[in-house]
Structure 1
Amino acid sequence: MSLAQRLLSVASWYEPSGCYLDAWARNDDDLRRLTDAFPGVNVTSYGTDGADLPASVYLGAGTFAQVREALGTWADITRCYVLWHNLRWPSVPDLGLAEEYKYAELQVACNSHDIHCEEWAAEHTVFVHTRPGDDERVAWLAAQVDARVRVVARRTDRLSAW
């Protein structure tokens, strides 16, 4: 979370309420624990033939403190992620890059190495989403926060603080 907070401080603008958390409940116990932790969450069922599971549990967050609390609670239950989607990456004139808002997103995947949290991992992963081909921007952002870049997919780069 400290790496995400440092990256958000580099953003030229972000709206704290433009943030949400998403977790997958694959069994009744996980669903109960996720919804008990934060009453009022939105639950969308993706089960077939009338089954309630699996389900996506969605929570909007307005402050970084709320994100930290919810993510800490949910990560103890299942794989989940937080996504800041209403932000702007700053212009980088030295690289010929204008301010970016259309593709600018920041995501932390808890206990996963992929953006959809399908692959379990012992650690968390920070993803910087940018315009396709803006690899230089990602490297520049990483340098601003003393992180490294590892490309894991087109349009998505993984930053690691270790």
Structure 2
Amino acid sequence: MSNGIAYPVFRTPDPALALSVARRLMEFGRVEEFSRVSAHAEFHSLPELHRVARELPAGCFRAQEVCGEFDDVPLAEQPALVVGVEGADLPSDPASYEGRLPVEFDLYDGAVDSIEDAFTAAIGPNRGEINWRNLSWPDVPAQGLYSEHTHAEVTLLFNTRTRDFDEQTGDHTVLVHVRSVNIDGRQRMEPQAQWLAARTGLTVLGPGQR
């Protein structure tokens, strides 16, 4: 089983500009009727959670649970907020969220251009990402690069610089994904990320992340 690795190629405090750049890179590998887009975010405050739920009501919102908390509880008997609810069904009682923040948000496998603008407008100061997958990077024989489909993706990170959302930042980062081929501690496919970035006037800004 192969793995992918993602390289940062653009960073800006302007979310609209970050989306524009990410789209330009995505369009280079877009496959009509096949490429898909998803979005993910996490919310650490109830005001932000409910604001975004009003703006993106079709998303799935899911609260945290203590590890093993519902191991022996049938799914039908678990709290709806833990299983996952749409924005309109989020509880209004603050007590429902005690010990359950952050609440995660997901929109899965939409058509390209179906959710990107609304998500970018709604994300505000919260950490999140848009991910485009099922792209296709071309063969570049002169550079010794091969076509890539399985790991051809573009990700736009909001207010964080890693896909783990482990640090809040005031900027937004575009990542290009390629296949991970690690030989003697060196990533052999980093030149593909560099080549892809250059095609859209960008450059690799730092090491790859999984």
Aligned to 1:19: 37
Aligned to 1:34: 52
Distance 2:192 2:121 in 1: 29
Residue correspondences, number:
154
Contact 1:14–1:87, Cα closer than 8 Å, also in 2: no
Q: 1:57 to 1:154 in 2, by over 3 A?
A: closer
Q: 2:79 matched to 1:66? A: no
CA displacement, residues 47-72 of structure 1 (integer Å, 9 cap, x when unaligned): 32684322210124424263022122
Instruction: Quote the RMSD (CA, aligned, Å).
Output: 2.2
1:115 to 158, 163, 173: 163
2:101 to 19, 31, 53: 53
Aligned to 1:104: 152
Q: Which has the larger radius of gyration?
A: 2
How many percent of aligned residue pairs carry the same amino acid? Answer: 26
Give the CA deviation at 1:111: 1.4
Q: How does 1:80-91 map to 2 (within 5 A)?
A: 80-91=128-139
TM-score by length of 1: 0.83
Distance 1:144 1:78 in 2: 30
Structure 1 gap ranges (5+): 156-162
Give the CA deviation at 1:37: 1.0
State which drifts further: 7-16 or 122-131: 7-16
Distance 1:57 1:46 in 2: 11
Q: 2:205 matched to 1:150? A: yes
Structure 2 gap ranges (5+): 1-18, 70-97, 181-187
State which drifts further: 45-54 or 98-107: 45-54
Give the CA deviation at 1:141: 0.6
Matched AA of 1:41? G
Asked which structure has the greater RCO (Cα within 8 Å, sep 6+), the reply is 2
SS in 2 for 1:32: helix
1:92 to 140, 165, 173: 140
Distance 1:24 1:154 in 2: 20
